[in-house]
Chains A and B, each alone.
Chain A
Amino acid sequence: MSKTSVAFKQPYPKNSLLKSILLVLPMLFLTAMMLSEGGKIPKNPLHLIPFVTVYIFFNGMFFLMIYTGKTDRYRAILFTTFAVCFVISFISNLIETRGSMALTGEDMISGNTPFCHMVIPMTLIPAALTKTIIFPGSILEGFANVATMFVIWIGVSLVLGRGFCSWGCFFGGLEEGFSRLRRKPILKHIPLKWSYMPYAVLAAVVLTSTLALSPTYCEWLCPFKAVTEFVEITSFQVLVQTIIFVSLFVGLVIVLPILTKRRTQCGLLCPFGAFQSFTNKLNVFEIRIDREKCVDCMLCAKACPTFSLDAKSIAKGRTRLSCTKCGKCVDVCPKNAISFHIKGTPVSSGHDKSRLLFIYPALIFLATFGSGTIKGALHRILLLLTTGGMIQ
């Protein structure tokens, strides 16, 4: 058989039904503890139905990941659901507490802006220089305070590295969902040069934030303000900023993902993603390519949603630094040459063990971060169906 032949797809090794059930048991226990907050089962059907649904949903997807041996297919369903539910839940909360998605000057002065992980790279240098956090949020109070987000980020960075971007980011799932709407891409070739753009945006926003002592990415570029909260339009400058973030949302989160089947915001703009890429160096999990099995068909490079594989990296048997460990390349490889891997172990052995060791903490993190959000969104939808409104 020639080196480039991919005619015979080798079946991915599945686990037996019994083994899969046994492997899901710890997750069943952990998610039950997490969702019930230590044993509190809700009585109200409007809370009980979302509780049960989320519990079955997370564990069902985890079971399928183990049983079928496929990671990305089920991760994408969880991840997209999380993002959509985040938007529903977040907007409903904002309208309930503030009456609007728009942030007023008073909200910012009183430190009521929820802190999001995207701001982290911009705050580090000013924090070191001025001992202040350049964000109008609360350090310890409220549901999305600075301290909590930093603690979560440090923990996740150590355990998952840039895996955060495919298993925990509450924005990434939106473009993930849009990127899966078409079966085949319309725009196939995006020059590799543009995959360096997030690093350039990171450099620009870190420098400008240090200079201006304000989070310039949030003010000027963040596309996700279109589905979360934005500054009330009271001046020409805010109008320009609003036009920019709405355009970026439409272009990079909706249109380009549909046309390219890639996560273009993550791969071509997100400065947090660029920053997070460096944490892949600290993390023990990585994706590796067994050069003995690889036939250089490039299916993995074509499938990678964040432009993290190219001919050069494949030849080295590694992904680029920006890999988000989504597992798509592992799933599409016709020769099972690509696998989750633990640094320091041989590349050609223990594929499924490494994958399992990665997806356990990854799914626990996704469940911790996402289960409450999905539950909240389902509760809002049930409220809408039963009372005609999502706001209490």
Chain B
Amino acid sequence: MQGFLLGLTSGTVCLTYCAPVMVPYFLGEGKSVRQNISLLVKFLVGRLSGYLLFGVLAWIFNLLIGKGFALHDLFFGTAYIILAAMLIIYGFFNKRSRCAAETLPGLFRRLSSHSPSLLPLFFGLLTGMNLCPPFLLAFTEASGTSSIGGSLWFFWNFFLGTSLFFFPIPFLGVLRRFEPLQIVGKLAAGILGVYYLYIGTIMTQGGLIQL
């Protein structure tokens, strides 16, 4: 549920920052709602692959750090504070943020000429590995789970939460309202950052007491 919640609050951010790259492609390729839905499914499968890959990485990270000693709380508490601070800046103050897919125009062009059907999948994979603060926060949360199943479950829920915002895309009328949605989404992410800042502070304080 925690992953789903985090996904819901950062979903609009994912959508609105990756949309400037993604939507023109959808508009250009999809001739009908049905075609757009097919493109969206490929895109979401790509995103899910990216998230699950990070689910495994989060579990490996947890194995390396270990559990049951004060450093665990101290490490994750500090990570929460840093990431929550990033989320607050991202939500309240940052005016422009780049989607991972936007940073690779060369590769994108090559792929679109050789294997166009793979393009939405590739897009999804890149957005699934987008190292934005909500995603990093999700990674830290998942790293706190004790099993690979728990970590993958967390990212699955994160994927579900963020994906809800992508479903209206085939029905492109929603795009006219993007600007307020983007602002509200960013501010909500910032508010959640404040909450995580508190959690991080409490965890760090606990870790320091145990030391």
Q: Is the CB of A193 within 8 A of B183?
A: yes
For chain A residues 192-244, which have a beta carbon within 8 Å of chain B?
193, 196-197, 199-201, 203-204, 207-208, 210-211, 240
Q: Chain A contacts of B191 at CB under 8 A?
A: 200-201, 204
* Chain A residues near B (Cβ < 8 Å): 193, 196-197, 199-201, 203-204, 207-208, 210-211, 240
A211 with B180: CB separation less than 8 A: no
Q: Pick 20 A–B contacts, CB within 8 A, sort by A.
A: A193-B187, A196-B184, A199-B180, A199-B187, A200-B185, A200-B186, A200-B187, A200-B190, A200-B191, A201-B188, A203-B8, A203-B184, A203-B185, A203-B188, A204-B9, A204-B191, A210-B5, A211-B1, A211-B5, A240-B198
Residues A196 and B195 in contact, CB atoms below 8 Å apart = no
Q: CB distance A199 to B5 under 8 Å?
A: no
- Beyond A208-B195, A240-B198, is A196–B187 a contact (Cβ under 8 Å)? yes
Within 8 Å by CB of A200, from B1, B188, B195, B198, lies B188
Query: Which residues of B are found within 8 Å of A240, using beta-carbon distances?
Result: 198
Give the residues in chain B near A207, CB-CB below 8 Å.
5, 8-9
- 1/0 per residue B65-79: CB within 8 Å of A? 000000000000000
Q: Which residue of A has the minimal Cβ distance to B190?
A: A200
B contact face: mostly helix, strand, loop, or mixed: helix
For B5, what are the chain A residues with a Cβ–Cβ distance below 8 Å? Answer: 207-208, 210-211
B198: chain A residues at CB < 8 Å are 240
Tell me how far the C-beta of A153 lies from the nearest C-beta in chain B, rounded to whole angstroms. Answer: 23
Q: Which 8 A-B pairs have the closest CB atoms?
A: A200-B187, A200-B188, A204-B191, A203-B188, A196-B183, A199-B184, A204-B188, A211-B5
Q: Write out, one digit per residue, whether chain B residues 1-45 have a CB within 8 A of any chain A CB (1) or not (0).
A: 110010011000000000000000000000000000000000000
| Complex-state Cα separation, A200 to B185, whole angstroms | 7
In the bound complex, residues from chain A placing their C-beta under 8 Å from that of B184 are 196, 199-200, 203
- Taking A200-B187, A201-B188 as known contacts, 12 extra A-B pairs with beta carbons closer than 8 A to each other, sorted by chain A number, are A193-B183, A196-B184, A196-B187, A200-B185, A200-B186, A203-B188, A204-B191, A204-B192, A204-B195, A207-B5, A207-B8, A208-B5
Q: Which residues of B contact A197 (CB under 8 A)?
A: 187
> CA of A240 to CA of B194 in the docked complex: distance in angstroms?
13
A203 to B198, CA, bound (A): 19
A204 proximity list for chain B (CB < 8 A): 9, 188, 191-192, 195
Those of B165-199 within 8 Å (CB) of chain A: 180, 183-188, 190-192, 195, 198
Cβ contacts under 8 Å, B186 to chain A: 200
| Chain B positions within 8 Å of A210 at CB level | 5
Set of chain B residues within 8 Å of A208, measured between Cβ atoms = 5, 195
Specify the chain A residue showing the minimal Cβ separation from B2: A211
In whole angstroms, how far apart are the Cα atoms of A203 and B187 in the complex? 10
Complex Cα–Cα for A207 and B180 (A): 19
Q: State which of B2, B180, B192 has its C-beta within 8 Å of the C-beta of A196.
A: B180
The distance in angstroms between the C-alpha atoms of A358 and B163, with both chains bound, is: 43
Say how far B196's CB is from chain A's closest CB, in angstroms. Answer: 11
Contacts of B180 in A (CB 8 A): 196, 199
Give the CA-CA distance A35 to B119 in the complex, in Å: 71
Q: Shortest Cβ distance from A372 into chain B, in angstroms?
A: 36
On chain A, the residues within 8 Å of B192 by CB distance are 204
For B2, B9, B184, B198, which residue has the most chain A Cβ atoms within 10 angstroms? B184
